[in-house]
Structure 1
């Protein structure tokens, strides 16, 4: 995942395209993550003046613990980003703190540290494949609503406000 700038300058008129499967060890120290495997990195690098724009797509499978059942599950990770490498920037101190996608570059572009960071940041803290609520959470009388409309259908009207409900119904028929 390293390319020298002289190698990339040869592709000035068209994009340099890459597609690689890599293996990264010790990506994260989280205890709920077992392994990150099948990491496929693809994209292209566009060169203009002293700037290299890297369109990056990362796909990986993250083996982690299901937050409800405690069983091992596979979380499919997919990340799309554009990283910019600029030769005119000499150090990280010159980069505005709000632009995380801008990187200084001297002699080569190395995507491995960026890929590591993107994977770490995009792994969810909580993930489950279970549709049901856990049995140990004392949720016997709970109802799970999918949208506001379903919630409104199930909510009974307060008897004190029942007369006001007729006003809403008459306004709808006037339109």
Structure 2
């Protein structure tokens, strides 16, 4: 995804269309991903008199762990960006604008920009489709609301009051025999 400016000058009248697939497997560990699919970068480069405008469309799939259940979740990556490369190097743009780049080395390199966009677009966390339902009950437990908890507490108190303390059970038997 690297082109020389002289190569791109041939397309002065019409945009240079490109579509390439790039692997950023080295980002898996640093982004805490289970997997990262091959990233497709497509778009066009338009050459003007003193700049090259790159319209890019980046697609791919992140595979992340669900934040609730740790189940693998596939999260699509689909973003667009317009980057402008200054060919004359006059720094006519402000340093705060991340979409302007200097192309004084005579090359337009979109791979680094695509890698940056893959990093930026990664969501903080992902959730599986039924993860909220999975968290409501499990093996021997279930989540209940406050009213259900109050009712359950009343039922337990009522059953405890009917039960005889095992230490006093012998006395209860004597009382039952006398009657």
Q: Given the two structures, how large is their TM-score scaled by the length of structure 1?
A: 0.71
Answer yes or no: is 1:140 the counterpart of 2:158.
no
In structure 2, C-alpha distance between the alignment counterparts of 1:75 and 1:47, rounded to whole Å: 34
Answer yes or no: is 1:105 the counterpart of 2:103.
yes
In structure 1, C-alpha distance between the alignment counterparts of 2:96 and 2:121, rounded to whole Å: 18
Please list every run of 5 or more consecutive structure 1 residues that lacks an aligned counterpart in the other structure: 143-175
Q: Given the two structures, how large is their TM-score scaled by the length of structure 2?
A: 0.70
- Distance of aligned partners of 1:140 and 1:101 in 2 relative to their CA distance in 1, 3 Å threshold: farther
In structure 1, C-alpha distance between the alignment counterparts of 2:27 and 2:128, rounded to whole Å: 23
Higher percent of residues as helix: 2
In structure 1, C-alpha distance between the alignment counterparts of 2:69 and 2:24, rounded to whole Å: 27
- Distance of aligned partners of 1:63 and 1:47 in 2 relative to their CA distance in 1, 3 Å threshold: same
Q: How far off is 1:88 after superposition?
A: 2.3
Note the 1:22-171 alignment, pairs <5 A: 22-27=22-27, 29-30=29-30, 32-89=32-89, 95-106=93-104, 107-133=106-132, 134-135=135-136, 140-141=144-145
Point out the structure with max Rg over C-alpha.
2
Matching residue of 2:172: none
- Provide, for residues 75-111 of structure 1, a one-character-per-residue CA deviation record: whole Å limited to 9, x for no partner: 11001010000112267xx752331100000211111
Please list every run of 5 or more consecutive structure 2 residues that lacks an aligned counterpart in the other structure: 147-179
